[in-house]
Amino acid sequence: MSTEKKPDTTVTVEKRSNGKWCFVIKHRGVTYPAQGNFTSMLQAQAVAQTALKALEQQR
């Protein structure tokens, strides 16, 4: 039997139908809406990482 715990935070970076990139953060059971209209996946990842750090510091 697996006792593996799911992470309390997930970040998903995805490409929208308009060709722009966005990210969605799920933190402690709360899903924050898709953010951004970034031209590259790297930009979306960088901003998502910054947003995630800000959320984690609110503890």
Domains of the chain: 9-56 (3.30.160)
At residue 56, what are phi and psi to the nearest 5 degrees? Answer: -70, -25
Mean pLDDT on 8-33? 93
Residue 45's nearest CA partner among 14, 19, 3, 18 is 14
What's 55's DSSP letter? Answer: H
19 is written with which tokens? 């060709």
pTM: 0.79
Over residues 23-57, the pLDDT tens digits come to: 999 988 899 999 999 999 999 999 999 999 998 88
Task: Find the helix or strand (DSSP H, E) in which 41 lies.
Answer: helix 41-56
Q: What is the pLDDT of residue 3?
A: 65
Residue 1 in this model has a pLDDT that exceeds 60: no
Distance of CA 25 to the CA centre of its chain: 3
